[in-house]
């Protein structure tokens, strides 16, 4: 079993929304690794970050991604930082990975610098978002088989671009 699409990208790229649309349009099941982690941990991701620390969360995430890649055959959305794991990046090489790219201004606008996004809360959220994009962009591109810049597109247009990209 293997996902049809694995969707990655930074916060605000539209991973969950676009993944749900793709699944619906292609008549596939949708699964979100962040939701799996919340269910397993029994608490929100922000609480895992603040209570247990980022390393504990990343270990849980790596395990949750591995499990989902083995079990799920639909559309799988990963958390924004899942690509930080070299083990996860290696696992993704066998899959069709969709990188939803978003520019800094649009990403900041979409996330609203939400406190539900633990890595974006802090003294200077814009600088934090820029640093996050700078660090992760090469990793997203390393695993991507399809890349869609989402800034000027609505979720339906992004889903269409993914389907078109997969057929090329």
Tokens of 152: 């000027």
Q: Comparing C-alpha atoms, which of 35, 29, 100 is closest to residue 65?
A: 35
Is 111 marked as binding a ligand?
A: no
40 assigned ligand-binding residue: no
14: annotated binding-site residue? yes
Cβ–Cβ under 8 Å, residues 7 and 98: yes
Q: Is 117 annotated as a binding residue?
A: yes
34 is in an annotated binding site: yes
Q: Is 58 annotated as a binding residue?
A: yes
Q: Are 119 and 132 in contact, with CB atoms under 8 Å apart?
A: yes
99 closest CA partner among 143, 69, 66: 143
80 in a known ligand binding site: yes
Annotated binding residue 105: no
DSSP string, 67-83: HHHHH--SEEEPPTTGG
16 is in an annotated binding site: yes
- The closest of 162, 159, 13, 32 to 100, measured between CA atoms, is 13
Residues tagged in the binding site annotation: 12-17, 34, 58, 80, 117, 136
Output the known binding site for substrate. Answer: 34, 58, 80, 136
Q: Which residues are annotated as a binding site for ATP?
A: 12-17, 117
Which residues belong to the annotated binding site for Mg(2+)?
A: 16
């Amino acid at each position: 079993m293997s996902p049809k699409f694995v969707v990655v990208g930074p916060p605000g790229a539209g991973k969950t929304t676009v993944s749900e649309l793709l699944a619906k349009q292609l008549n596939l099941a949708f699964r979100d690794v962040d939701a799996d982690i919340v269910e397993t941990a029994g608490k929100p991701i922000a609480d895992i970050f603040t209570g247990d620390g980022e390393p504990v969360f990343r270990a849980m995430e790596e395990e949750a991604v591995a499990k989902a890649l083995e079990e799920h055959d639909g559309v799988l959305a990963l958390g924004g930082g899942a690509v930080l794991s070299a083990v996860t990046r290696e696992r993704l090489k066998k899959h069709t990975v969709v990188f939803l790219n978003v520019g800094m201004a649009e990403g900041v606008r979409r996330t609203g610098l939400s406190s539900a996004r633990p890595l974006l809360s802090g003294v200077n959220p814009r600088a934090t978002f820029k640093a996050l994009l700078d660090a992760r962009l090469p990793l997203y591109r390393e695993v991507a088989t399809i890349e869609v810049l989402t800034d000027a597109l609505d979720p339906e247009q992004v889903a269409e671009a993914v389907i078109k990209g997969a057929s090329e």
